[in-house]
Amino acid sequence: MKFNPARIRNGLTLTDLCVILVMIMMLLAIMPALHRTASERDHLVQCASNLKYIAAGMIEYSNRNNGKYPRTNFDTKSSVLTQYTGVNASNPFGPGGPQVNDVSGSIWLLYRSSGLDPKYFVCPGSDADAYDPAVSGSPLTKSNFTSRQNLSYSFECPYPTMNSLMGRFGWDNSSLSSDFPLAADMNPGTPALLLVTPTSSASQMADANSPNHGRIGQNVLYGDYHVEFTQSPFCGSVLHGATGQIRDNIYTSQPGKYRDDNQTPYPAVAEVIGGQPRDQFDAVLLPLATAGFQPPLKPHAQTGVSIIMGGGILLVVIGIIVAVMVLRARNPARPPPLP
């Protein structure tokens, strides 16, 4: 092998530098993805923890109210659902309070009476911000969320149809089965909910998943108070008596195939977004992400963090390269003796 004194003197060749720079570029390219993955995992864990705190609040509320879960004024003769009404009333059941069948008012009633931290009603993967009593006033002076700005979970609609009431539907801690959803990441409210089926592709299912976690799925709080992450909205109760049983879409209103153990079929009824639960197996989690609050576009914090980290690593590597080259230039290696 021919001896090259210039290589020893300079320490690194142009090829060496190119290889190092390519490796640095590859590292910088994958860092944002690695950071996003870690952030999403943390968001899922914190979101599940939020729902467990909410479960504790619902248990406490029901224990103090004869087993009943929170619900504001209910008109059994009306099929109209409202939300975000009567915000500034001090009494949620008095004049000026939430209108009848207000789905967000019932969630606020839980927050107001439970003493839960308002951050538990906001998924860390969503675009919402926790209600701040220091800025907006004590929850005892309010009767509703102003919008979904401070709410990113949907709860079972506590205002069922008359048919449901005559059946076995009940908004209390003894009527709902272990596979019946109480709450979950917010209902996307998009038309895709009416297009997907349990066998839809992952990309199609993503359009029907909650937006809270990049549409990869949703955390769901069930009737026995356990929390489970699902990659499909078809994660409710098994439809009663249905051939080839499937699970209920937790974000739409549609009865099961049969109304009772004798398999008396329901009349043909269209699936609905934002409707009332139609039987004891029909979960309809509300409010919708498409109503109330349109947040401003926010830069992704994790992207900025990745850029800063990547830049820091790049500076460190360049510093090391420069230091090595300077040291080798000051202390050149002696060539081996000639034969």
- List, run by run, the mean pLDDT of 10-residue segments along the chain (339 residues): 50 66 68 63 95 97 96 91 95 95 97 96 95 95 95 96 74 90 97 92 94 96 97 87 73 74 64 89 93 49 47 61 61 57
Tokens at 180, concatenated: 């019946």
Whole-prediction pTM value?
A: 0.76
Task: Write the CA distances from 119 to 115, 123, 132, integer angstroms.
Answer: 11, 8, 9
CB 67 within 8 A of CB 54: no
Q: How many CB atoms lie within 10 A of CB 142?
A: 21
At 77, list the tokens.
């003769």
pLDDT for position 242: 46
- The dihedrals phi and psi of 244, each to the nearest 5 degrees, come to 65, 55
The encoded tokens of residue 167 equal: 């059946």
**With contact defined as beta carbons under 8 Å apart, do 103 and 287 qualify?**
yes
265-322 confidence digits (pLDDT tens) = 666 678 899 999 988 888 999 999 997 654 443 433 344 444 555 555 556 666 666 6
pLDDT confidence of residue 2 = 55
How many Å apart are CA 33 and CA 306, to the nearest integer?
9
**Whole-number Å distance between alpha carbons of 159 and 276:** 6
Measure the CA–CA gap between 232 and 324, rounded to whole angstroms.
54
**Residue that the structure tokens 């004869």 belong to:** 66
Report, in angstroms and rounded to the nearest whole number, the Rg of the chain calculated over CA atoms: 29
Q: 285: which 2 tokens?
A: 């989690």
249, 234 in Cβ contact below 8 A? Answer: yes
- The pair of three-digit structure tokens given for residue 172, joined into one six-digit string: 């209390």
Query: What is the C-alpha separation between 160 and 140, in angstroms, rounded?
Result: 27
- What's the confidence (pLDDT) of residue 130? 96
Angle at 85 between CA 215 and CA 283, to 5 degrees: 45
Q: Which amino acid is at 9?
A: R
The rounded distance, in Å, linking the Cα atoms of 95 and 175 is 31
- Strand-by-strand arrangement of the 285-286 sheet: 227-230, 218-222, 181-185, 153-156, 285-286
DSSP 26-76: HHHHHHHHHHHHHHHHHHHHHHHHHHHHHHHHHHHHHHHTTTBPP-----T
- Tell me the two tokens of residue 111: 């927050």
- Rounded to whole angstroms, how far apart are CA atoms 160 and 273? 14
The confidence score (pLDDT) of residue 8 equals 45
Measured between alpha carbons, how far is 174 from 294 in angstroms, rounded to an integer?
37
Pairing mode of beta strands 218-222, 181-185 = antiparallel
DSSP conformational letter for 213: G
What values do phi and psi take at 227, rounded to 5?
A: -115, 135
